[in-house]
Amino acid sequence: YVMEMAHMSARTLFSAGLMVLAISISPVLAENVVFSLTSPQSAMEVAAGATINWQITAEITSGGSAGLSLVAVDLLQDGANPESLDLPPADGVPTEFAGFSRPAGISNPGEGGATTGYIGVQRGNPGALNLVQIGGAQNSTGVGAAAIGTDTSLEGGLGLSGPVVIAQGSFAAPATEGTYSFQLANALANTLDSIQVAPTPSPVSKATTSFAAGSFSFTVVASTQNLGDMNCDGFVDDADIGAFALAMVDAGEYGAAFPACDINLADMNQDTFKDGLDIAGFVDALLAP
């Protein structure tokens, strides 16, 4: 009997979880788990302050297992980027991975007011913080603990039928012009050999990990757009009304719908907020000759 996450012993953040995962790792299964990092802004030119969205997925590309048991990966900014930033944690825990996040599952504790570290914990120098160990593990020991790994029911089939979203988030494009790159690193994964009924432990296997799309880049350029040009077609007209309304109510949806545009162009009164006080200025821009 060895720890399910013994291959993480050199990395200390999951130390609390290691103490409760003491089940057999089977040598029979050696699945391949492929991680991918994508962004709708990849290879695009964007303005400073534009919303950059990212998404991490994992997929089991070989057969035989009962699905993912553990996933963990880092999101890093390239040291050669023109400007560094503090990467915010992911937006939340996907529903399918609720059992990988504490207290139900095994993950890092939350920091900065977050209830879980599944969304990644910030590590590095201030002003250049990366996201470390995004993800967590299901409690496959068959025995629940008091404060972490409380859920012994397992979610099977994750990653078997195609890429499954582990985490997603966003950050603002830096102010300095130039090309920026972000990449995945230190990916870890285990898969379930089979699913047993608690208190019988469910055996797992350490997977071989790789990256199908392990990075993305974008270029920050000087903005040539006008305030109110929310669809960035070079004009402020009726075609911008829907985009302006979307920017007011849902910044994330706006960024997804208009990935090459700058949401800050909705700040008509330049008070650094996008709110109802900008509506009058937008109407004036629409009516301007």
Rounded to whole angstroms, the Cα distance separating 109 from 183 reads: 24
Query: Which amino acid, residue 62?
Result: S
1 pLDDT more than 60:
no
What would the pLDDT profile of 170-210 be if each residue is shown by its tens digit?
Answer: 999 999 999 999 999 999 999 999 999 999 999 999 999 99
Rounded to whole angstroms, the Cα distance separating 272 from 49 reads: 11
Please tell us whether the domain made up of 6-221 is placed in CATH 2.60.40.680: yes
12-16, 36-40, 124-128, 220-224: least confident range: 12-16
Query: Which amino acid, residue 246?
Result: L
pLDDT tier, 79 (very low <50, low <70, confident <90, very high otherwise): very high
Rounded to whole angstroms, the Cα distance separating 58 from 136 reads: 13
Q: Which is it for the CA torsion 183, 188, 192, 196, positive or negative?
A: negative
pTM of the model: 0.77
Rounded to whole angstroms, the Cα distance separating 47 from 234 reads: 14
Does 10 or 231 have the greater pLDDT score? 231
Quote the pLDDT of residue 262. Answer: 87
Rounded to whole angstroms, the Cα distance separating 79 from 128 reads: 9
Quote the tokens at residue 49. 């302050």
What would the pLDDT profile of 99-132 be if each residue is shown by its tens digit?
Answer: 999 999 999 999 999 999 999 999 999 999 999 9
Quote the pLDDT of residue 28. Answer: 57
Query: Which amino acid, residue 251?
Result: A
Quote the pLDDT of residue 163. Answer: 98
4 pLDDT more than 80:
no
Where are the chain's structural domains? 6-221, 238-287
Rounded to whole angstroms, the Cα distance separating 62 from 56 reads: 19
User: Around Cβ 132, how many Cβ atoms within 10 Å?
Assistant: 22
Q: Which residues make Cβ contacts (< 8 Å) with residue 208, sequence separation at least 6?
A: 30, 31, 32, 33
Q: Counting every residue, how long is the chain?
A: 289
CB 227 within 8 A of CB 267: yes
Residue where the block lists tokens 């599944």: 118
